[in-house]
Structure 1
Amino acid sequence: MEDFILRNVTVVNPDQTRKHAYVHVKNGVVSSVGEDRDAGTVKSERTVEIEAGPEEVLVPGMIDVHIHGTNNADVMDGTPEALQIISETLPSEGTTSFLATTITQQKDAITNALENAAAFPVDQPEAGAKMLGVHLEGPFFTAEKAGAQPKEHLQQADTALFKQWQEAAQGLIKWVSLAPEQDPDHALIRYLSQQDIVTSAAHSSAGLEEVDQAAADGISHVTHLFNGMSGLHHRDPGLASAALLNDALTNEIIADGVHVHPAMVSFAFRMKGASGLLLVTDSLRAKCLQNGVYDLGGQTVTVEGNRPYLEDGTIAGSMLRMNEALKNVMAFTGCSLEEAVAMTSKNAADKLGLTRKGRVAPGMDADLVLLTRSGGVSRTWCRGILAYEQEGMTWKS
C-alpha cells in the first residue's frame, strides 16, 4: 500500500497533539498532514482511505538504540536469519528502526556479527524495522561493573581494534558503549567523537570528575542509567551522578520496573526532562518466548516472567517491548504522551542525526504506529509499508 490516507486520527508528536487529522502517505513518505475535513483535496483515485478507531492515536515509529535480540534471535548469532527475525518482529511493539547491539565476546565472534550486519541492508525486509546500524556494546568495560557482559573477554580500549571492527562493519557502527577508565588517555573517545559516532559511558566504575572529563573529550550519552555503573553515593558521586548532573549527557533507561525502580525512573525524569532521556529495551532472544533457559553471549540465562538472570542472579537483558516502555514511563513519571513519544522516537533520531525520523510530518519517513489508549499496538507501518496488524482488528477502508 503505497498511497493511503489515515482519516480522523489523533496525531501525537513530541511537541504537539493534533486531533481530527488526516495523514497522507505516498511512496513511503508522509506527503501531508492536515484537518480531516480537508482530506479529500489531496487524494487521488489510487489513494486508499483508512479510518482510525476512536480510541487510537498515531505516533512516530519508535527507535530502539539498544537491543540484542527477540523471538529466539540474537545479533551475536551472526546470521542473516537472526537479523531478519529481529527486523520482522519489532514492528509488533511499535519499533520501526533499531541499532543491532553486540555484547562482549571474543574478537572473532564480534567480527562475525559485524560482517553479518554489514551485509544485512541488502536483504533488509521491506515490511520490517530498519536496521540503522550497529551499537557496539563492549568489550571495553570494567570487570567490577560487568553485569551480564562476559568478564573473560573484557579489555582496555583499543583504537586500532575498533578501526578493524568498523571496517568489518563497513562503517555501520554508529554507537559505542565503553567505560571511560578503560580508555585512560581517552584516545578512542576522541576518535569516535571525530567520526560522529555516539559514544556512551557504560559498565564503569568511573567517578564524577572522570566522567565529566570524558564528556569534555566526546562522550555524550550514558547506557542503561543506574545499571552497571558507579552510583549516587553522597561522598563519592559516580557515573550515575554525572549522568544526571551533566547537561551534555543524555541518558537511556530500561523502564521495565525490574532494572530500575519506578521511583528512580521518575527521579531521572525530573533531573533530565523528556529531552534528556531515551527509552530502550536492552532485550534478548527470550523476548516473545516462554519462561525457560536461553543463551546470551555464551552465558546461560534463566527467564522467569519479565526477569532474565544469570546463574548468580545478575539481571541479564530484558523482556521489555518498546510500547510497554512508553506506557510504563508515563505511569512511573506522570509525563505526557507527547513527552513519552520524545523518549521513544525523537531523541534517538536526533542523537543519530536522522532528519527524516522521529516525527509525523510532511517529508518524514512514514514510520507510523497506531496505539490503543491502553498502550497496545494496533498497526505499524515501516516506511509506508504495513509491517504489523493486531489480530482480530477490523479496519474501515
Structure 2
Amino acid sequence: MKGFVGNRLAENGHLESIRVEVTSGRISNIKVCKNVDASLPLIVPGFIDVHVHGGGGADTMDANEEAFEAIAATHAKYGTTSLLLTTVTESIERIDKVIDCAKSYMKKSHGTGATVVGLHLEGPFIHPDKPGAQRQDCIIEPDPSLVNRWLSSGIVRMITMAPERPHAQAVAELAKQKGVIVAAGHTTADEACMQEARLMGFSHLTHLCNAMNPFLHRDVGPIGAVISDEAFTADLICDGIHVHPAMIKALIRSIGSERLMLITDAMRAAAMPPGTYELGGLEVYVRDNECRLSDGTLAGSVLTMSRAYQLVQSLGGVSPIVAQRMSSLNPAQKLGLTTKGKIDEGYDADLVWLDPSGEVLRTVVNGRVVFER
C-alpha cells in the first residue's frame, strides 16, 4: 500500500487536506484531516486528453511504439494521465499501420507515462472545404466497410468526420453500435444538418469553433447546435489562440461546463523548442506558441493540459473546481472510464500535484509516480 498527501478541492470548492492510500493502482482509502495544511500542494484528478497528435518530437502517425511512449511520457509531465492517440487525414495504409501498432502497444504494460486508452480517428472523412491542417489529397468519403475493419481492432474510441458527407449516416450508425463516440468536425454543416447528425449517432463536436462554420445570428451553425441541444458535448482548445477569450467565456456560460472538455490538439512540437516541424506530411512553423502552415492556417498546438487547466480559469473565468471537471471528469464520463476523473475511493490512482502557479510537481498513473519535479 502506498500513501500520498496533499490538498484536494471538495465538491463545494473548499480545500481539504487528505492522505490518499493506494492499493493495486486504485485509491483504497482517503483520510480527511481535521485542519487544512495550506503548505501542501493541490492534488487534482489526472487530466484526460481525448485529442492529442503528438509531443516531445513524436507523432501518432510515426506509427511505432517508441513514438507512442514519447508522447505518453511527454504529456505526463504536464499532468495528463490518460489520452487518445489521434490520427490525421492520411493514406489508408498509414492509418492501418497506426492502428496495428497502437493495438500491440496497448497490450503491453507501460509505466513511464500517461495511459493510452485508445485511438481517436480525426479524418479521413472530413469535408474538403474545411481541411484545416490536413491533407486535401487524402480526404475520402466515409466508407462503412473500411470503418468496420478499423473498429474491429477494438481500440478506436472516437471518430471525427463531417456529417454532411456521403455515407456518413452509415458510418455513424456503425460506430455508435460499437460504442464509439462519433464527433462532427472539419465540417460545413449548418444547424439543421447537426440535428440530423444527432439522429445518425453524432454526439460530440471536435475543437469547437475551429474548422467549422461560425456562429451568426441567423445562421448559428454547429456552435449554435451544441448551445441549444443538450444531447451534444464538445471539446475546446483553450490556448487563447484557437478561440478568443471572450468566446471561451461565452461558450462556457451558454453551454455549461458539464458538456465541455479541454483538449490540447498537441502536435509533435509540444514541449519542444520553436522551429519547423511536420504534421501529417505538412510543414508546420512553430513560434510564439503558435503552430501554422505557410499560408497561416493553424496546425494543431503546443498546448499542454496543465496549461489548458490554468487558462480556462483565467480566460474563461471559471473556478478551479470547474476547470478540474472540464479537464478530468467530463472526458472520463464521455469515454465511459468509470473509475477515472475523481479523487475518491475505488477510483484509479491517477493523480496530479500542482504548485500555487498551476505547474505540475508530480504525476501518478495507476499509483505509480511517472513524473516528479
Q: TM-score by structure 1 length? A: 0.91
Correspondence 1:316 to 2:312: no
* Alignment of 1:65 onto 2:44: no
Distance 2:10 2:116 in 1: 23
1:217 corresponds to 2:217: no
Query: 1:46: which partner in 2?
Result: none
1:103 aligns with 2:51: no
Are 2:117 and 1:120 aligned?
no
The answer to whether the 8 Å contact 1:68/1:284 transfers is yes
Counterpart residue number, 2:158: 175
Residue 30 (str. 1) matches residue 13 (str. 2): no
Give CA deviations for 1:49-91 in whole Å, capped at 9, x if unaligned: xx98715111000000000000010000011100011111211
* Residue of structure 2 equivalent to 1:161: 146
Q: How many aligned positions are there?
A: 373
Output the CA distance in 1 between the equivalents of 2:12 and 2:259: 15
Contact 2:151 2:175 in 1 (8 A): no
Residue of structure 1 equivalent to 2:272 = 289
Deviations 1:215-269 (A, max 9, x none): 1221111000000001112232212221222211111000001101111110110
Letter in 2 for 1:30: I
Report the 3-state secondary structure (helix = DSSP H, G, I; strand = E; otherwise coil) of the residue aligned with 1:99.
strand
Instruction: Mark the runs of 5 or more structure 2 residues left unpaired by the alignment.
Output: none
Partner of 1:267, secondary structure, is helix
Gap runs ≥5 in structure 1: 39-50, 391-397
> Offset of 1:184 from its aligned partner?
4.9
Pick one of 39, 52, 70 that aligns with 1:85.
70
SS at match of 1:144: coil
Report the equivalent of 1:394: none
Distance 1:368 1:15 in 2: 20
Structure 2 counterpart of 1:32, one-letter code: N
Shift in alpha-carbon separation, 1:171–1:14, aligned structure 2, 3 A? farther
SS of 1:149's partner is coil
- SS of the residue corresponding to residue 369 of structure 1 reads strand
TM alignment of 1:1-397, pairs within 5 A: 3-7=1-5, 9-12=6-9, 17-36=14-33, 54=39, 56-167=41-152, 170-184=153-167, 186-390=169-373
- SS of the aligned residue for 1:115 comes to helix
Cα distance in 2 for residues equivalent to 1:58 and 1:171: 33
**How far apart, in 1, do the equivalents of 2:126 and 2:174 lie?**
17
- CA distance in structure 2 between the partners assigned to 1:15 and 1:386 by the alignment: 28
Q: Distance in 1 between matches of 2:227 and 2:12?
A: 23
Letter in 1 for 2:272: L
Report how far residue 11 of structure 1 moved: 1.2
Shift of 1:13: 5.8
Change (3 A) 1:195 1:186: same
CA distance in 1, matches of 2:298, 2:262: 18
Question: Does structure 1 conserve the Cα–Cα contact (< 8 Å) formed by 2:17 and 2:37?
Answer: no
Identity %: 36
Contact 1:66–1:135 (CA under 8 A) maintained in structure 2: yes
Secondary structure of the 1:365 match is coil
- The code of the aligned residue for 1:69 comes to G
Give, in whole Å, the separation in 2 of the partners of 1:214 and 1:374: 41
CA contact (8 A) 1:10 1:57 kept: yes
Question: Does the aligned pair in 1 maintain the 2:148–2:174 contact within 8 Å?
Answer: no
RMSD of aligned alpha carbons: 1.7
1:198 partner amino acid: I
Deviation at 1:272, TM superposition (A): 1.4
Looking at structure 2, the residues matched to 99 and 322 of structure 1 have their Cα atoms a distance apart, in angstroms, of 13
- Length-normalised TM-score, structure 2: 0.96
SS in 2 for 1:224: coil
Inter-CA distance 185–64: structure 2 relative to 1 (3 Å threshold)? closer
> What is the distance in 1 between the residues matched to 2:309 and 2:345?
24
Q: Cα deviations across residues 280-320 of structure 1 (Å, max 9, x unaligned)?
A: 00000011111111110000001012101011110000010
For residue 301 of structure 1, give the secondary structure of its aligned residue in structure 2: strand
Residue type at the aligned position of 2:50: V
How far residue 187 of structure 1 moved from its aligned partner, in angstroms, is 1.2
Distance 1:350 1:376, change over 3 A: same
Secondary structure of the equivalent of 2:42? strand
Partners of 1:285 and 1:260 lie apart in 2 by 21
CA deviations over 1:11-52 (Å, ceiling 9, x no partner):
1266654512221112211111122369xxxxxxxxxxxx98
Contact 1:369 1:377 in 2 (8 A): yes
Determine the C-alpha separation between the residues in 2 that align with 1:185 and 1:24.
Answer: 47
